[in-house]
Structure 1
Amino acid sequence: MQKSLKCLSLLLAYPSTEIQNEIEALGTALEADGQLNGAALDALAPLMARYADADIWDLQESYVEMFDRSRTLSLNLFEHLHGESRERGSAMVDLLETYRSGGFDLETSELPDHLPVLLEYLSTRPVGEVRELLVDASHILGALHTRLTRRSSPYAGVFAALLSIAGVALEEATSPELVAEPDDDPNDLEALDAVWEEAEVTFGPDPNAGCPQVRDMLANMDTPPAAARSQLTGAGNA
Structure 2
Amino acid sequence: MLIFRAFSALLSYPGEEMRRALPEIAGVIGASPLVAAREREELARLIGEIGQGDLLAAEERYVDLFDRGRALSLHLFEHLHGDGRDRGAAMVELKELYAAAGFELTASELPDYLPVVLEYLSLRDMEEARELLADCSAILASICRSLLARQSRYAAVLQALLVIAGEKPLDAGKVAPVRERHDALDRDWVEQPAFADAAGDRPAV
Band the TM-score falls in, shorter-chain normalisation? 0.7 to 0.9
- Partner Cα separation in structure 2 for residue 159 and residue 28 of structure 1: 19
Alpha-carbon displacement from aligned partner over 1:85-105 (angstroms, at most 9, x marks no partner): 211010011111111121112
Q: Kindly name which structure, 1 or 2, has the bigger radius of gyration based on alpha carbons.
A: 2
Aligned AA (2:128): E
Distance 1:192 1:57, change over 3 A: farther
Counterparts of residues 50-65 of structure 1 (less than 5 Å): 50-65=49-64
Query: Counterpart in 1 of 2:116?
Result: 117
- Partner Cα separation in structure 2 for residue 39 and residue 166 of structure 1: 16
CA contact (8 A) 2:52 2:58 kept: no
Aligned AA (1:134): L
CA contact (8 A) 2:150 2:179 kept: no
CA contact (8 A) 2:22 2:51 kept: yes
The reply on whether 1:25 has 2:21 as its aligned counterpart is: no
Deviation at 1:158, TM superposition (A): 0.7
The TM-score, its normalising length taken from structure 2, stands at: 0.82
- Partner Cα separation in structure 1 for residue 170 and residue 71 of structure 2: 19
Aligned AA (1:77): L
CA contact (8 A) 1:186 1:192 kept: no
CA contact (8 A) 1:35 1:165 kept: yes
Which consecutive residues of structure 1, in runs of 5 or more, have no partner in the other structure? Answer: 173-178, 195-238
Alpha-carbon displacement from aligned partner over 1:15-57 (angstroms, at most 9, x marks no partner): 1111211211111111223211111101212211112322211
The TM-score, its normalising length taken from structure 1, stands at: 0.72
Query: Counterpart in 1 of 2:125?
Result: 126
> 4+ residue stretches of structure 1 with deviation over 6 A?
182-185
- Partner Cα separation in structure 2 for residue 35 and residue 120 of structure 1: 16
CA RMSD of aligned residues (A): 2.4
Secondary structure in 2 matching 1:154: coil
Structure with more contact order per residue of length (Cα contacts < 8 Å, sep ≥ 6) = 1
Alpha-carbon displacement from aligned partner over 1:127-182 (angstroms, at most 9, x marks no partner): 1111011111111111111111111111111101111211210249xxxxxx99x9
Query: Counterpart in 2 of 1:149?
Result: 148
- Partner Cα separation in structure 1 for residue 50 and residue 79 of structure 2: 27
CA contact (8 A) 1:144 1:159 kept: yes
Which consecutive residues of structure 2, in runs of 5 or more, have no partner in the other structure? Answer: 192-205
Counterparts of residues 219-238 of structure 1 (less than 5 Å): none
Q: Which moved more, 1:84-93 or 1:50-59?
A: 50-59
Counterparts of residues 81-230 of structure 1 (less than 5 Å): 81-171=80-170, 187-188=183-184
Number of aligned residues: 186
Deviation at 1:191, TM superposition (A): 6.2
Query: Counterpart in 2 of 1:49?
Result: 48
- Partner Cα separation in structure 2 for residue 34 and residue 129 of structure 1: 18
Percent same amino acid at aligned positions? 42
CA contact (8 A) 2:145 2:170 kept: no
Aligned AA (1:140): I
Distance 1:142 1:187, change over 3 A: same
- Partner Cα separation in structure 2 for residue 31 and residue 107 of structure 1: 29
Deviation at 1:187, TM superposition (A): 3.0
Deviation at 1:192, TM superposition (A): 5.6
Deviation at 1:71, TM superposition (A): 0.9
